């Protein structure tokens, strides 16, 4: 191409092909050492690269133009944008700082600097930078929005709502602000306001599947299943590989007793993401509702093969085993679920756990010395048993609780402790027998158990084994 080709007018629409040609021309100018002569043309092309996310091409051109215009703050700032988009955050940060040293009052550069700071984990610095931008331009909707997002990420939702609301006061068509407002209100359980925000977002961006998906979630929480189903269906018509939408469509249809349709939705999700264990769990739930226990068992087993610590699946599979007359397998799954939940609740952070172990061991040794002097003390043996349990010494803990029962055969808490240890030792029948004894001796134990392990209490399998009339 000849260097004499004309520039594009600012108001012209520039097609992808034209942008490619401009980039090609710019490279030719740079190669022929005509960068300074065609600097305006190159700078316009750099802007097109920013607008069209052509980061690598844009970065090449910005570096070349900076070499001949080292004090052009706009080009240095654009170079930072390209670096930031390429995840080269430290280099981007340096570019924005350099651009600001040349033009300290440039609000756009301050906003971009805050993005780099946020990407580098410099949250407080990002917030201060945005406040500086607002001091220069109090009505800058992008700065207000960015501060709102910073607060949202820190789960300071009320503060986030304040800034996001100010954003849409300035620009009522700022769709991202409406979307994030919907999320913040949802996080505060203000579902009506959340729905209003998502509806506004959909009004502005009716073909965005995320808006319809989030509306579907809110309608599900509000109990409007038909509207929720419709929202998920629209989301999927706009993006047919939207896995989460397929899953929730299945959930809604299950709640509407449309089990066959729910199964179809879950199978669509499984086709897209076959290694998501929650899909197989939900698919199993739909088959279970239809009393197709064989199919449900297949799905639950698949979920467990993907995540062998998914205790909800063990409870569900155990119920199906029980319904199919396979009681021993049902007991085994019930035991595994309880063990997983108990071990989860026992976990402590590493250093804290080490300190606790040392203190617990010393405390237990002291208690054993006291028990030698007073061997019939129920209180001492209970404490000894509980410490053994905390240390993961299930056998010793069980022996301690057995000693407690010998001292007081009607002590419900001791039977409860025995039940826990039997579960952890995979002795499910003994565990259930001791739980029943504890519940009979003190009905409050049942309440404590249900409060301590709500996941177990709400399972059908628990009701089968330990329901009120068992």
Q: Give the CA count within 13 Å in the CB-facing half-sphere of 437.
A: 19
Instruction: Return the structure tokens found at 224.
Output: 């409007």
Average pLDDT value for residue range 431-459: 78
Rounded to whole angstroms, the Cα distance separating 132 from 138 reads: 9
Rounded distance, CA 289 to CA 59, Å?
57
How many helices (H) and strands (E) in the chain?
27, 0
Task: Map tokens 């097109």 to a residue.
Answer: 48
CB 410 within 8 A of CB 397: no
Answer for the pair 213, 239: CB distance below 8 angstroms, yes or no.
no
Burial class (CB in 10 A: 0-12, 13-18, 19+), 6: exposed
Token representation of residue 361: 């061991």
Quote the crossing angle between the two packed helices 141-153 and 123-136, to the nearest 10°: 160
Residue with structure tokens 């929730």?
248
Confidence of residue 351 (pLDDT cuts 50, 70, 90): very low
- Classify each residue of 340-364 as buried b or exposed e, where b means 16 or more C-beta atoms within 10 Å of its C-beta: bbbeeeeeeeeeeeeeeeeeeeeeb
245 with 276: CB under 8 angstroms? no
Rounded Cα gap, residues 111 and 108, in angstroms: 5
Ramachandran angles phi, psi of 174, nearest 5°: -75, 90
- Contact of 64 with 30, CB cutoff 8 Å: yes
* Residue that is last in its domain, among 173, 191, 206: 206
Identify whether the C-beta of residue 141 lies closer than 8 Å to the C-beta of residue 167.
Answer: yes
Q: Does residue 155 lie in a domain region?
A: yes
- The share of the chain scoring above pLDDT 90, in percent, equals 62
**pLDDT surpassing 60 at residue 415:** yes
- H-only helix segments in 224-292: 225-238, 243-255, 259-272, 277-289
pLDDT at 375 over 90: no
CA angle 409, 413, 416 (to 5 degrees): 100
Phi, psi angles (nearest 5°) of residue 137: -145, 85
pLDDT in tens, 137-163: 999 999 999 999 999 998 999 999 999
**Domain limits for position 372:** 349-466
Per cent of the chain over pLDDT 70 is: 91
Cβ(423)–Cβ(339) below 8 Å: yes
pLDDT band at 430 (very low <50, low <70, confident <90, very high): confident
Q: CA 230, CA 220: separation in Å to the nearest integer?
A: 11
| Cβ(273)–Cβ(266) below 8 Å | no
Could you tell me if residue 99 is inside a domain? no
Q: How far apart are the first and last CA of the chain?
A: 89
Asked if residue 104 belongs to a domain, the reply is: no
User: Is the torsion defined by CA of 122, 127, 130, 135 positive or negative?
Assistant: negative
Q: Please compute the mean of the pLDDT values over residues 276-285 and round it to a whole number.
A: 94
Whether residue 385 contacts residue 401, with contact meaning beta carbons closer than 8 Å, is answered with yes
**Residues contacting 260, CB < 8 A, separation 6+:** none
pLDDT higher than threshold 80 for residue 403: yes
* Phi, psi torsion values for 52, nearest 5 degrees: -115, 15
What does the mean pLDDT of the chain come to?
88
For the cut 70, the answer to whether the pLDDT of residue 251 exceeds it is yes
pLDDT over 60 (residue 9): no
Give residue-wise pLDDT tens across range 91-148: 999 999 999 999 998 999 999 999 999 889 898 899 899 999 999 999 999 999 999 9
pLDDT digits (tens, 9 = 90+) for 15-31: 889 999 999 999 999 99
- Please enumerate in sequence order all residues whose Cβ is within 8 A of that of 288, keeping only pairs 6 or more positions apart, or say none: 296, 316, 319, 320
- Domains identified in the chain, total number: 2
Using an 8 Å Cβ cutoff, are 213 and 242 in contact?
yes
The answer to whether residue 218 sits within a structural domain is: no
Task: Give, as one character, the DSSP assignment of residue 425.
Answer: T
- Alpha-carbon distance values, 406 to 129, 409, 436 (Å): 69, 6, 18
Neighbours of 331 (CB within 10 A): 21
Residue ending a domain, among 206, 241, 263, is 206
Of residues 69 and 347, more confidence is placed in: 69
Per-residue pLDDT averaged across 364-383, rounded? 86
3-class DSSP assignment, residue 12 = coil
| CATH number for the domain harbouring residue 196 | 1.25.40.10
pLDDT in tens, 159-205: 999 999 999 999 999 999 999 999 999 999 999 999 999 999 999 99
Q: Is residue 390 part of a domain?
A: yes
Asked if residue 163 belongs to a domain, the reply is yes
Q: Does residue 356 form part of some domain?
A: yes
Among 80, 157, 167, 145, which residue's Cα sits nearest to residue 119? 80
- The residue among 157, 186, 206 that closes a domain is 206
Contacts of 429 (CB under 8 A, 6+ apart): 331
| 1 lies in some domain | no
């Amino acid at each position: 191409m000849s260097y004499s080709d004309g520039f594009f007018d600012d108001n012209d629409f520039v097609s992808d092909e034209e942008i490619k040609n401009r980039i090609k021309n710019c490279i030719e100018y740079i190669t022929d050492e005509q960068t300074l002569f065609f600097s305006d043309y190159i700078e316009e092309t750099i802007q097109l690269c920013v607008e069209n996310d052509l980061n690598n091409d844009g970065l090449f051109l910005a570096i070349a133009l900076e070499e001949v215009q080292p004090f052009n703050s706009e080009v240095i700032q654009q170079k930072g944008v390209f670096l930031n988009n390429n995840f080269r955050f430290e280099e981007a940060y340096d570019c924005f700082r350099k651009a600001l040293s040349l033009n300290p009052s440039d609000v756009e550069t301050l906003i971009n600097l805050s993005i780099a700071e946020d990407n580098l984990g410099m949250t407080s610095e990002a917030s201060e930078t945005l406040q500086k931008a607002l001091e220069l331009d109090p009505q800058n909707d992008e700065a207000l929005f960015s501060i709102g997002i910073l607060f949202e990420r820190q789960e300071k939702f009320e503060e986030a709502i304040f800034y996001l609301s100010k954003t849409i006061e300035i620009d009522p068509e700022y769709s991202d602000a409406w979307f994030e407002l919907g999320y913040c209100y949802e996080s505060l359980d203000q579902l009506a306001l959340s729905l209003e925000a998502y509806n506004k977002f959909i009004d502005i961006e009716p073909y965005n599947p995320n808006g319809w998906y989030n509306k579907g979630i809110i309608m599900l929480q509000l109990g409007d299943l038909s509207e929720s189903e419709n929202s998920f269906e629209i989301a999927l018509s706009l993006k047919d590989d939207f896995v989460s939408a397929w899953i929730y469509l299945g959930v809604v249809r299950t709640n509407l007793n449309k089990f066959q349709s729910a199964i179809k939705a879950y199978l669509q999700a499984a086709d897209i993401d076959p290694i998501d264990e929650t899909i197989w769990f939900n698919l199993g739930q739909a088959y279970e509702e239809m009393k197709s226990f064989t199919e449900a068992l297949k799905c639950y087993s698949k979920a467990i093969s993907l995540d062998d610590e998914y205790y909800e699946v063990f409870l569900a599979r155990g119920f199906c085993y029980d319904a199919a007359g396979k009681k021993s397998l049902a007991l085994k799954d019930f035991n595994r679920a309880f063990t997983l939940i108990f071990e989860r609740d026992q976990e402590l952070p590493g250093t804290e756990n080490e300190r606790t172990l040392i203190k617990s061991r010393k405390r237990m040794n002291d208690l054993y010395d006291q028990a030698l002097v007073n061997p019939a003390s129920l209180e001492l043996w209970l404490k000894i048993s509980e410490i053994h349990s905390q240390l993961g010494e299930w056998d010793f803990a069980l022996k301690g609780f057995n000693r407690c029962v010998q001292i007081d055969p009607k002590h419900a808490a001791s039977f409860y402790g025995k039940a826990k240890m039997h579960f952890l030792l995979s002795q499910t029948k003994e565990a259930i027998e001791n739980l029943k004894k504890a519940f009979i001796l003190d009905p409050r134990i049942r309440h404590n158990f249900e409060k301590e392990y709500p996941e177990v209490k709400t399972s059908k399998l628990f009701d089968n084994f330990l329901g009120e009339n068992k």
